[in-house]
Structure 1
């Protein structure tokens, strides 16, 4: 699933993607979604990219608290290779604010380069076994 997440992140590279959640932590369940955080001040830019890539999405909004601020986050969901992909779109100025999980700890997240390194490490571990 990490390879699929990497592929999706590369398609949305201009929006500074971060992978978060169970796929990053290495504990995805049977019906696990891939969650990617994107950053843009212009929703229309992302919508144009989605249209150009012919991706049919469903959307919803949710209020998310980061630090002392609350942001209205758009969530675009679509299916890719039988896996649900959730794109959480934050304003650009929220990128440096680290979201926290339900335990109030900083949420782990990875950029494209970090995810690629993690995948390469997995490949090395598999070939060494």
Structure 2
């Protein structure tokens, strides 16, 4: 019973840190939350799914007025970015798709091409300043690889592009929260979400 109570407290505090401070690494959020609460038992750390549930609850209670507006704005930005990158078969992933986006959230897109330099070339051609990094993506339980990530701002919204090979288009990477195939949305699906909203 005490472990359950501690997990719940950590999940709620981690959700607050994510929502208010823009912390996006769930592991870091729960460790920081546990330290703030003085709970040092590893068995009390909540699962990522528990933190995501707590985040939705936090937003419903404390961000009910501004979070839906911010989510809509991020989805509109996603729609425009997906149109811009249409030739790379973009898929929306992450907080903007699942509905937990806030003012700290980036519009995260997966782009598919066997020529990553074509994405860079498009950004350079349009004089869009970007940062280049890499990200480890788990394709399945046994396979993880590093792929290029390009980041830039579109107005106030950060855009995060993970450039994946074309043959991965049919195989969704594993979600860091659920460890199941990642939920992804095409442009048509994003437009449908905006219609619903």
Would you call these one fold, judging by a TM-score over 0.5? Answer: yes
Conserved 8 A contact 1:2-1:115: yes
1:35-54 matched pairs, under 5 angstroms? 35-54=108-127
Structure possessing the higher relative contact order (Cα contacts under 8 Å, 6 or more residues apart): 1
Larger strand share, 1 or 2:
1
What displacement does 1:107 show?
A: 1.4
What displacement does 1:71 show?
A: 2.9
Residue 7 of structure 1 pairs with residue 80 of structure 2: yes
Tell me the equivalent position of 1:104.
179
Structure 2 distance, partners of 1:106, 1:65, is: 10
- Aligned with 2:149 (options 66, 72, 75): 75
Conserved 8 A contact 1:71-1:90: no
Question: Gaps spanning 5+ residues in structure 2: where?
Answer: 1-73
Greater C-alpha radius of gyration: 2
Larger helix share, 1 or 2:
2
Structure 2 distance, partners of 1:32, 1:44, is: 26
CA RMSD across the alignment: 1.2
Structure 1 distance, partners of 2:127, 2:138, is: 31
Tell me the equivalent position of 1:16.
89
Residue by residue over 1:66-117, the C-alpha shift from the partner in whole angstroms, topping out at 9 and shown as x without a partner, is: 0243332100000111111000000111111111223212211100011111
The size of the alignment, in residue pairs, is: 122
Question: Gaps spanning 5+ residues in structure 1: where?
Answer: 123-129
Structure 2 distance, partners of 1:78, 1:17, is: 16
Residue 27 of structure 1 pairs with residue 116 of structure 2: no
The TM-score with structure 2 as length reference comes to 0.59
Tell me the equivalent position of 1:115.
190
The TM-score with structure 1 as length reference comes to 0.88
